[in-house]
Each structure stands twice: as C-alpha cells, then as structure tokens.
Structure 1
Amino acid sequence: MYIGRIGNGEHHDDGIYILLKEVIDNSVDEFVMGQGRRIEISISPEGLAKVRDYGRGIPLDKLRECVSEINTGGKFITGKDGIKRPFSSSIGLNGVGLKAVNFLSQEFTATSWRGGKAARVRYREGLFVDEENFSTPEPNGTEICFLPSREIFPSFRYDPKFLRRRMQHYSWLNSGLSIICNGERYYSRRGLLDLLEAKVESDPIYEIIHYKSERMEFAFCHTESFNENYYSFVNTQYTSDGGTHLAAFKEAIGKAISELSSKDMEYDDIRGGITGAIAIKIQDPVFESQTKNKLGNTDIKTGIINEVKQAIIAYLYKNPETKSQIFDKIEKNRSVRRQIQAVRKGAKELAQKSMLKIAKLRDCKYHLNEAESRRKEEEKRKCEESMLFLTEGNSAAGSVVTARDPETQSVFSLRGKPLNCYGRRKETVYQNEELYGIMQALGIENSLDNLRYGKVIIATDADVDGFHIRMLLMTYFLTFFQPLVEMERLYILDTPLFRVRDKRVTHYCYNEEERDQAVQELAKDCEVTRFKGLGEISPAEFGQFIGEDIRLQQVVIDQKRQVDSMLKFFMDDNTPERRAFIMQNLI
C-alpha cells in the first residue's frame, strides 16, 4: 500500500484520506459481494474515524492476523466447489490496507461480529495492546476505529468538503449502498446517471444516455459547451488521469456516431461539449502509478470499445430524435472549429512572436506527457511531479528560477495583468500573445492529453494586484480549459507574509496569527519583516517554499453549474449587486 503525500488534510490525496479510503474500501467490497447494504462512518473533531459495515465480519480467529500480519487478510470467496478465489472486482486484493492503517495510527481498534459472537483487538502506535472475545446480539459486520498518529500526521484535520465528495463517489458507483457519514446519508439508485446529472455544467441537449452491464457502466450527454469532461473509475477507484478504459470509451463514442452518419466526421467535433463517465470492474487492475490515478491494462481496450459502441448504436436506433440532436451539435462544433482554424491562419505573425516568448520559458527536464516513454520508475515519478509556475513579473520569476529544481520545475513570467477572458470566444487566445504563450507552454492547444506539467501553479504577490492577476488567470482556465481544472491540475502557491527572526531563530509566517505567536516566542528583540511581493524574498530563502514543504491551495470546482454565474458576478461588467458585495466584505 502507498499513501502518497502525508499532508495535513488540506489536499484530497493527503495520507489521512487514503487511510480512511482503505478502511471504507473493505466495507464496499463486502457490499459488492452481496453482503451488507449499509456503512456507517463517523469522524470526531479530534480526527478519530470509525467505520462500521454489516457484511460477514472478519473471521474471529483471524482478526488479529488480518490487521497486523503481512500476507494475511487477502480478499477471497469460497465457491460452490470449495475452492477459494479472489474477489472478482476489488481495488486491492492483498489485504495490506488495514495493516498500514494500524501501523500509521496512534490508536487502532478492530471489532468483528459473526453469528452472535464477537472479537476485538486494540493497538497503539502499531503495537498490540490487548484482545477480547465476547457474546453479543449485534448483527454481523466489522468496525474499524482509528486515530492517525500525530507523530506522522502532526497537525491534520479532515476537511468536510473532501469527505462529502468521496462519499458521494462511493454512492454513485455502488447504487443501492447506503452510506451514513457524520449523520448525512449518501445514496444513489441510478448510479452514474445520478453522477452525470450532478456534474454536468449546463442543461443537456438531450436526455442522458445511460448503459449498465455486469462489468461496465457508462453515461454521457452533450451540452452547449465546447469542453470535454470525463470521469473514469476502476473498481470504485477514481482514475483522475484516465487510462486505457477512458481512451477506449472516448474512441467508442466517436466510432459509434461516425458509423451512423453519412458524412465524414472529426472525432473532436463529435466529442466537443461531452460530459461522460465510465466505470468498469476488472479482476486484476494494473495502475501506472502507486496513487492508482491511471489504468494501464491494455488487454481490456478492444472489449470496452466494442461494448460501448454497440450500446450507443442500439440506443440511437431506438431514439432517432436524440441522434438528430447529436448531429446538430456536431455541426455546430464543426463550424466553431473552422472559425478557429481561420483565426489560427491569420495569427502566424503572433504565433512566431509567441514562439520567441516560449523559447525564453525556463523549462524543466522532465514533463508529464513524457512519463509513458520513460523506462525508469524514478524518471516516471519526476515526470508526474513536474510543475509550471506562472509568476507575476520578472523580479518574482528571478527568485523562482534561481531557487527551483530544474529537473521538475519550470517558470513562465507574465507581463502585467492578463486579459479578462470572461464572455470571450476561443479565438481570443490566438489574438493575445500572453494567453497564447501560456497555452503553448502547457501544450494544451489541441488536447489535454499533451499537458506538459503535472501541476500548473499560479504564483502571484499577496496584495490587491496579485489577487487580481490570480482571478484573471483562473478565469482564463475556467473559460477555455475548464477540464484542466476538473482534472485538479491548477493550484495557487502559498508564500509567507512575514519573517520573524532574532540572532538564533527564523520563523516564516503565513498569516498574522502565526506572526504574533512567533513574536511572542522570540520576545522583544526580534525583527519582523513584511514581504510585499515574491521578488522581495531572496532566492536563498525562496527555495524552501517551493521544495518538499511547498504549500499549495488546489483550485476545485464543487458545483459546475455555478461556475458561469460565479464568473459573471465577479468578472463581468460591474453591477450594483457586486458593488454592494464588495462594500460589505471590505477588510
């Protein structure tokens, strides 16, 4: 098992969420095997997590082994022939997860109920404390209670926003399963159909196409948007970077619709404006990284393409009105694409200027889109860790360039404030040197499949101008490259506002509260410096803020339908409502 980053709970992939996921996954696997339709989860303000399912329960005489001994606790089911076989579709089969949770917890208790009897084992910091067996009227099932170790996760906190999103995914991917988390119920009757209705950014042009079989489920629709948005899952694991199953799904949509048309069609025209989701169940998933964000099984592609293609063709034969609406949307996409192509041809001079600008990009050695071609695991890891800093002006860029890791960190310097892109069309990108340069640097002109960096980081000053530039850049990405934000690739860099030091100790503080605590600790003789901009932080100091302890805020879309109204309110022409909002929230 690999928990990824340790973190403190501010990122959805921080270790505490991985620990919780490992416990819940075991309960979900019980549901998948037809054992238990309810999971109860509670998390206290102190971080104590409790997960109770109503499956079969861990065998009482194996409970201690399953939570502490390696090579025990694998997921098997006994068939009618008496032979034990692994679960047909599970995220992990080796039974490592609970052991890792145990060893990384300050307090860990596992309880199993089976047939009126129960067993309980307790551990502290991974060391056995005691165990007991007793009779009970409690229904069958398992309960895992753990408090992540404060030595490993010193200042963690579960974010309710991340918990809600994870529980919602569990319910969408396991229709019929009831999850109660801190008193809130998550339940889905229609699976991915419910997911798509929640995720689609505007009203669908036609009724969502939904298909479900024993091994696969998918749903998709077109909207008036021109962005493509996809959500892919393997055995309930969210694969944010897609993989072979998503590639096959997209290819199948293009092939199915092309086969029904008498005209030649571009796949980009077919898929423009699509929001889709696919979930598959396979016995031996192969992921391209330890974080399980991308599926690598190549043998499943042909089967997925054939099944998805036939299902779409059959649906559209039965629903000719939907087919006509899809063809109308494709024609509109084709028209927009031709307009953009015309703008591209007319922008050759700008493109040449921009290429000079790109040539000045302080690039790194490893890039995300090169990961698959790298043979060494260390090189693949560096490709995934690659990042691009969008900095405000040359002075800030100078500090970042000097302090960065040239193998994985690139820097792109902005000249002043970029154009406000709200309400503008895609050709605006080709008519503006700054915006065109960002697009080219990221490699996303034609597709996000060629994204060159694992993280795109907005690095601006913590003042009014810096916040404005931050908003303008977020508007740019949300307007023209929203899927990049959906893929959770966009971040904002946190840098310290204050330096408090004396002759012995230096503290860097990110807010006034930290500053006051540092001043109190160092007493009266300390020196307090307020950083007005990134350029004021020396390269020697700046390195620690973009190194292993880099602090990032991820830009996350909670409600896609609210994106346009939010941008309209903040980035469109001034209104009395916005003026009133600003006056009420002045600091």
Structure 2
Amino acid sequence: MAQSQYTEENIRSLDWKEHIRMRPGMYIGKLGDGSSADDGIYILLKEVIDNCIDEFVMGAGKTIEITIREDKVTVRDYGRGIPLGKVVEVVSKMNTGGKYDTRAFKKAVGLNGVGTKAVNALSTYFRVESNRDGKSKAAEFETGDLKNEEFLEETSRKRGTKVTFTPDETIFKKYKYRSEYVERMLRNYVYLNPGLTIVFNGEKFHSENGLKDLLQDNNSADDLLYPIIHLKGEDIEVALTHSKTQYSEEYHSFVNGQHTTQGGTHQSAFREALVKTLRDFYGKNYDPSDVRKSVISAISIKVMEPVFESQTKTKLGSTDMGGNLPTVRTYINDFVGRELDNYLHKNPQTAELIQRKIQQAERERKELSGIRKLARERAKKASLHNKKLRDCRVHLDNMKNDRRLETTLFITEGDSASGSITKSRDVNTQAVFSLRGKPLNSYGMSKKIVYENEEFNLLQAALNIEESLEDLRYNNIVIATDADVDGMHIRLLLITFFLQFFPEIIKEGHLYILQTPLFRVRNKKETIYCYSEEEKREAVKKLKGKPEITRFKGLGEISPDEFQHFIGEDIRLEPVMLDKAMSIEELLKFYMGKNTPDRQEFIIENLKVEVDLVEENQL
C-alpha cells in the first residue's frame, strides 16, 4: 500500500480572518438565527459594546448609542477614541489591543484581543470610525478584508468610536435581532454600570441603584418577601431577597461586567457564604437547601485577569481575585459574612422573615423526604430503561465541548411524532422526551406533585434541575406538539409546569416552541416548506404552474426524512418569554385558572408563542 505524501505543501497557515470564518464557534459560541439569547449575532453586538463599556469604566464617555435597523447594527460611544494610527490594526490584527497594558484597563471585560476582529471577520460590511484630537480616521472592511480608509485632518465630530456592521448571512442563516434579547443585555450593562446611559433605537436605559434595580425590575414587588438587601464593596456588589411563591433559587452573576449565565467559582462561593452567614447568625445548623430555597439574588465581582471556562465567558473558572487579594471564595465569604451579618443585626424584622422562610422550607422538605426518596429510586430505575428519554451524547454541562450550546431536548407527544424526531435527530446534540397523553395541570399544586407524578419526575431527572439550574443538561428545551387544540393545550400544561416549579428555565431563555410547517409546496424539481399562508403564496408563485400543495395536520404525518429539514440547521424556534410587568402568580392565574374571556388574548400578548397558530386554533 503506497503511503500518501506528507510534504511542506500539506501544511497551510490560515490568516486571522480565515480561521475565524472557518471556526466561528471557537470565538462566538453557537451561530443560530437570533431566536436564542446566546446566538452569535448577540455575541457580535456584545463584543463591540464591551469596548464602549471599558471606556466608561475608565471615566471616558457616559452615553452609548445603539441602533439596529433590520440587519445593520451601529454602536457609538463618546470615549477617548482608538488611537488614530492603530484603527485598522485594532480591528484586524489578532492579539492587538489596549487591554494588554493592565495599567490602562485594570479589570476590563474584553481581554482576549479577539472581540472586534471576530465581528469584522464575520460581517459582510464592517466600518470603524475613531474621532479624537479634532481628527477622524475610518476604515471599511468586507468579511475582514480592508476595502477603504478615510482620514480627516479636521473634524467637528465629538470624540469617541463608532462601529457599524452587518452580520454575514451565509454564516448566520436567516437571522433577525430580537429586541427583547438586546434590551435584556443592555439592562444588565446599566445595572452593572450605574450612571451609564444606553440609548437603543431611541429608548433610554439607565440605572442609579445597580443590582438592586435588577432584582426590582425582574420581579413583581408583591412577590418579594422583604425589601431587597443591597450590599456594596470595592470589587463586589450583592443584592438579595426571597420570593414568596418561587420554589427555586435564582442567581444573576457577573464578573467584570460579564453575565456569567453558567455561574462559576464566584456563584458557588456566594451560595456557600449565604448558608454559612445565616447559620452563624441564627446559631442553627440549617440544611443548605432550606436556607437557599426561594432566594432571588445577584452578585457582581471584579477580578484581575479572570479565567473563564469557555471563549464566550459564561462560566468563571478563576480561583483568585488577582493582585494581593485573597481567593475568590475567601473574598466573597468574608464580605458576605461581615456585611450581611451587620445588615441583619440592624434590620431585625427582615431577619425574622428570613428565619421563618427557612423554617417553612425545612417543614416542606421533611414532608417531601419520603416521596423524594421513592421518586429518585423510580427515576434511577427508569433511567436504566427509560423509554421516555432518548438521550444525546453531548450535554450543556460539558464545558469543554464546543457543541454544548446546541444541546436540545425535544418534548413530544404521541409515538409517531417521537419516532419521526428520534429517527431524524442529530444523536450528538438532540435528545427526545416522549409524553404519554396530556400532562397533569400543575396549577396551584405544591412541589410534591413533581415527585408523585411519574412524567414530571422523569422530566425533572432528565433535565437535572432538581437542585439548581447550574447542572441543566440541555441549553434548549423545545416543546414539539401539534398546532391543533390538543397540542396547544399540552403546550400550556408544560409551560404551566415550568412556570410553577422552574420559572428560571423561562427567565433564562431556555424554553422554546418548535415551529413546524403548515404546508409543503412542491413540483418535480423543488420542495418548499411553508410556515404561514403568506409563505405558501410566495412558494406557489416561485414554483409557477400548478405545484402540489399538502397541508400537514400533525407532526405524526411528517416523515423522518422530511423532519430533518425542520430540526436541522433550518430549525425555527419561538422563544417562550415572560412579560416583566406580570408576576408569575398572576400569569398562572390567567393561564390555568378559571377560563376568562381575556385568557386567549393574554396568552398571545404575554407569551410570544406562535401567535398565528393560537388565533387559528381558537383555544
């Protein structure tokens, strides 16, 4: 057998932009079309804003202006402006940036020198303009290639940097920016930087009270057990309260202004510090889960040269604060131990409410303990031969796998739909959980039902969310039911289950509805799947003549071969979102309480879920 030649010609060095375009996932996580908050188009926006934030932190520029018009994004700050001689290099040469000189940026967000280069390489159009010292320099690129440079010796433009880009549609297929996700990102920026104003498409975002505002804006005042405890130190800020109705723990954690959605060493240290401080304060060895049950909190720390577990910086791996400071764990334990203890001594009413809440959690846990044990044994047995779950190979908690953000659990009804999805799925990242008939209406029920009801118990076990969201196994939880009345009802029952017991699944943007085509339009040469009457009309026009039109009544009718088109890279997901003006309690009452005339209208307004289909199949 002849050996293949291995010579110098076989070794090829990619330039910076080719590497980013060939392996975009290494730089920005998953690609996506904008239906998920961690899709690449939001990471591009974030990379550009991070640089503006670093300017604000350095005391330069109090306003950032952002406009998004369809696919074109513009971000303008009033900071110091990129040094004019380096404008091209900063956005097109790897490992170039002012952040390597730690005197200029002590605790910056964008430390890897990759940010704007990735945006440049992944955009069909990219323009950067720097105004400083009365002069202006601009450069224009296409997919990372420099096309044009401008230099003005004199300009009356205010100092600062303006970046405009259009993400490349060949990489981010059929994408669109959802203002809900952009707004959430911007709110986090202003909470973490009190005094900063961000103007997005004419709307102003501003915060004076930091993390306290975050908890206030994200929760209904009626749901908070006591006024928010707000503690601030030089490199740390904490906001904390307990929910009256929520079962789960809720944490919003940040490092150097970076939203660490996967938590990390700082979040673990905070959870530990909270338990230790409250145990010491009350002089009782309470169970950690009782102390933390229903807690709603936010923590932000600043660390010198943080180490993250992934390029997209969603989980902190650092154990040190940097400089001469102690470890992250010691620093947080000391701060919470001292400041929370002081607060509770000065506010005995709050201290009493917290203790009562812990005691109530203890009673409930003891009542549940027998059932829990049985349920766990049942789930263990079932997982050995769990007919309901057809698992995938990669999971969200596998931080080293670059496909972890693609992990998806489809919740289906009926054997035919489950069978079709199972046969056509990607076994590496897509899992299927089959329901048997309609799930139970869990509205108004206690957590006990999650353990007593076999389906809910197995679903909880499959997702691995009993203790906290930190160990969630799938990034996307997708309800895949028919678009008929029964399918709509099953959707509502599942959304109710998550709202009632695991609302953070929805709050953190993990729950979706799978959109499936209503029609197939085809001739001998081409097949087009259509998701609305309008798309069907366009397809008929495009295929000319008299194409064959099939209307799909249910998922079971769609063959596994066809299903590949709907759950592959052209998957259409509709995120389930909460309206922040509504408390979860009100939401549930509207949803699954007595049927009111407002209910259908309310569902359409508050949970943005396939509006056309809800209207089409009157509930």
User: TM-score w.r.t. structure 2 length?
Assistant: 0.86
Could you say if the C-alpha distance between residues 580 and 386 of structure 1 is closer, same or farther in structure 2, counting changes exceeding 3 Å?
closer
- 3-state DSSP of counterpart to 1:242: coil
- 3-state DSSP of counterpart to 1:466: helix
> Conserved in 1, the CA contact under 8 Å of 2:248 and 2:468?
no
> Conserved in 2, the CA contact under 8 Å of 1:24 and 1:51?
yes
C-alpha displacement at 1:150, in angstroms? 4.3
> Conserved in 2, the CA contact under 8 Å of 1:386 and 1:409?
yes
C-alpha displacement at 1:408, in angstroms? 2.8
Equivalent residue, structure 2, for 1:62? 86
Q: Structure 1, residues 190-226: CA drift from partner, whole Å, max 9, x if none?
A: 1001111112354322221111122111111112123
Aligned-partner Cα distance in 1 for 2:284–2:343: 20
Aligned-partner Cα distance in 2 for 1:51–1:439: 41
Equivalent residue, structure 1, for 2:238? 218
Q: Structure 1, residues 285-341: CA drift from partner, whole Å, max 9, x if none?
A: 222222222111133223222222222112212222221221111111111212222
Equivalent residue, structure 1, for 2:12? none
Could you say if the C-alpha distance between residues 72 and 440 of structure 1 is closer, same or farther in structure 2, counting changes exceeding 3 Å?
closer
Structure 1 position 422 matched with structure 2 position 443: yes
Structure 2 unmatched runs, 5+:
1-25, 321-327, 606-613
**What residue identity is the alignment partner of 2:82?**
I
**What residue identity is the alignment partner of 1:517?**
E
- 3-state DSSP of counterpart to 2:550: strand
Q: Percent identity?
A: 50
- 3-state DSSP of counterpart to 2:304: coil
Equivalent residue, structure 2, for 1:198? 217
Aligned-partner Cα distance in 2 for 1:418–1:154: 35
C-alpha displacement at 1:342, in angstroms? 4.3
Equivalent residue, structure 2, for 1:367? 395
Equivalent residue, structure 2, for 1:81? none
**What residue identity is the alignment partner of 2:533?**
E
Equivalent residue, structure 2, for 1:328? 356
Q: Structure 1, residues 357-408: CA drift from partner, whole Å, max 9, x if none?
A: 7355322333334x26xxxx4xx33555433221111111111121223333
Aligned-partner Cα distance in 2 for 1:112–1:449: 41
C-alpha displacement at 1:177, in angstroms? 0.8
Equivalent residue, structure 1, for 2:138? 120
Greater CA drift, 359-368 or 110-119: 359-368
Equivalent residue, structure 1, for 2:41? 16
C-alpha displacement at 1:56, in angstroms? 1.2
Equivalent residue, structure 1, for 2:151? 132
Equivalent residue, structure 2, for 1:97? 115
**What residue identity is the alignment partner of 1:64?**
V
- 3-state DSSP of counterpart to 1:488: coil
The 5 A counterparts of 1:538-577 are: 538-559=559-580, 561-577=582-598
- 3-state DSSP of counterpart to 2:32: coil
**What residue identity is the alignment partner of 1:215?**
D
Structure 1 position 315 matched with structure 2 position 343: yes
Aligned-partner Cα distance in 2 for 1:134–1:314: 58
Structure 1 position 436 matched with structure 2 position 451: no
The 5 A counterparts of 1:105-116 are: 105-116=123-134
Equivalent residue, structure 2, for 1:268? 289
Aligned-partner Cα distance in 1 for 2:231–2:601: 48
Q: Structure 1, residues 116-162: CA drift from partner, whole Å, max 9, x if none?
A: 22222233443321321221233322222223344444643322222
Of 500, 511, 530, the match for 2:551: 530
C-alpha displacement at 1:268, in angstroms? 0.9
Aligned-partner Cα distance in 2 for 1:21–1:582: 31
Of 165, 174, 192, the match for 1:146: 165
C-alpha displacement at 1:250, in angstroms? 0.9
- 3-state DSSP of counterpart to 2:583: helix
Aligned-partner Cα distance in 2 for 1:244–1:581: 40
Aligned-partner Cα distance in 2 for 1:49–1:147: 6
Equivalent residue, structure 2, for 1:80? none
Could you say if the C-alpha distance between residues 571 and 508 of structure 1 is closer, same or farther in structure 2, counting changes exceeding 3 Å?
same
Equivalent residue, structure 1, for 2:13? none
Equivalent residue, structure 2, for 1:303? 331
- 3-state DSSP of counterpart to 1:2: helix
Greater CA drift, 3-12 or 501-510: 3-12
> Conserved in 2, the CA contact under 8 Å of 1:43 and 1:50?
yes
Equivalent residue, structure 1, for 2:76? 52
Equivalent residue, structure 2, for 1:42? 67
User: TM-score w.r.t. structure 1 length?
Assistant: 0.91
Of 20, 25, 37, the match for 2:50: 25
C-alpha displacement at 1:356, in angstroms? 7.8
Equivalent residue, structure 2, for 1:176? 195
Could you say if the C-alpha distance between residues 162 and 366 of structure 1 is closer, same or farther in structure 2, counting changes exceeding 3 Å?
closer
Could you say if the C-alpha distance between residues 290 and 553 of structure 1 is closer, same or farther in structure 2, counting changes exceeding 3 Å?
farther
**Equivalent pairs, count:** 573
Could you say if the C-alpha distance between residues 116 and 505 of structure 1 is closer, same or farther in structure 2, counting changes exceeding 3 Å?
same
> Conserved in 1, the CA contact under 8 Å of 2:390 and 2:433?
yes
Equivalent residue, structure 1, for 2:324? none
Could you say if the C-alpha distance between residues 157 and 116 of structure 1 is closer, same or farther in structure 2, counting changes exceeding 3 Å?
same
- 3-state DSSP of counterpart to 1:275: strand
After superposition, the CA RMSD in angstroms is: 2.7
Structure 1 position 208 matched with structure 2 position 232: no
**What residue identity is the alignment partner of 1:478?**
L
> Conserved in 2, the CA contact under 8 Å of 1:353 and 1:433?
no
> Conserved in 1, the CA contact under 8 Å of 2:36 and 2:509?
no
Could you say if the C-alpha distance between residues 490 and 561 of structure 1 is closer, same or farther in structure 2, counting changes exceeding 3 Å?
same
C-alpha displacement at 1:176, in angstroms? 0.8
Aligned-partner Cα distance in 1 for 2:379–2:143: 59
